[in-house]
Amino acid sequence: MDKTTVILGGVYCAVILVLISVFVISPSKLDLSPHIAQNNPFDQSIMKSSQLSLADLFAASDQGVVQIIVSKSNDSLEDKDIGSGIVYDTTGHIITNNHVVENSTKIQIVFHDGQSLPAKVVGTDPYADLAVVKVNPSSYALHPLTLGDSSNLRIGDQVAAIGNPFGLTGTITSGIVSQLGRLLDPPNSSFSIPNVIQTDAPINPGNSGGPLLDMYGKVVGINTAIQSETGEFSGVGFAIPSNTMKRIVPSLIENGHYDHPWLGITGISVDSDLSDILKLPVSSGFMIYTVVPNSSAAQAGLQGYKETKAINGTQYKIGGDIIIAADSHPINRINDLLNYLQDQKSVGDKMVLTIIRDGKTMQVTLTLQQRPNQF
């Protein structure tokens, strides 16, 4: 991960310590009281057909967004962190980020009207930074939000975020989808999160786990991180797409975990500059550097680089297979391959890779294994 990428998390208390040299916040000026929704029910049927104003979007969605207060033991101290969450169903399941609840000793869920209920973690996926916690709603009425189809998003679409930045409950901000298909490198992991949504809707520490909404009131992403050198929002935020949530969340509820498919390769995306330097037969694709022993790729016979060569003072690894398609879907760069794996494939599936080896095009069939913790 780039050093300027900040995983937002429920890290309000910790973030204040980090940011104290940059700016000063007076706690007495922060509104940390529970947000009380106005008593004017919104007609949900409107959401089915027409785009909403930001005011109507908030009225329709605020009841489905919660504040998550997490206690975490830190040696002899106990920190209280704040994040956000999305009500998933009426039985009490709530979606948030894994880093919000990771290493938690106690979790409290605060709803839009100030009602508070304890929660327990039922499933986590650190690879996609997703987690599901559960409350026992008893007679309390929950208001789930609907997961939309993130594949329909276009660059420039208007979106809104609802959450609890710096503990300020029930906060809505708006912006646009500024790019799609980003790779996000979470800390302490060898694996990137693919197909991430980039947005300029202002999000800050405490927003993590809250929804990114389209203007029809559908959840298209879960706010996760920002790109910042100071810890403050600087115009670039990231959200895990709703289609990723749709694949992973049911497994977290049922099994407590999600098994990600894995190839077992490292390498570099091919572009026109690299192609010119190395005299490659293609100007796009993914060139394999190394193949992990006993991985899916190794068992299928994929090959990594054969030698290194100095060109204009720079060492290059050359001779590795170049992946140009997966199941006939073009692979122009690593993002395409990772996005296809996450969105379309499961552990145990077969996948046909079209590769170029020693200038010749060929196909290799492999069976996808479960991703290991590290490699």
Give the residue numbers marked as catalytic: 99, 129, 208
Cα 70–Cα 249–Cα 326 angle in degrees, nearest 5: 130
Amino acid at 175: G
Kindly calculate the radius of gyration of the chain based on its CA atoms and give it in whole angstroms.
Answer: 22
User: Is the Cβ–Cβ distance between 354 and 283 less than 8 Å?
Assistant: no
DSSP structure string for 204-259: -TT-TTPEEE-TTS-EEEEEEEEE-SSSS--S-EEEEEHHHHHHHHHHHHHHSS--
104-110 vs 65-74, strand pairing mode: antiparallel
Burial annotation 103-121 (CB, 10 A radius, 16+ → b, else e): ebeebbbbbbeeeebebeb
Residues with Cβ within 8 Å of residue 225, at least 6 apart in sequence: 5, 6, 7, 8, 184, 186, 208, 237, 238
Q: Which residue has the tokens 């069976």?
A: 367
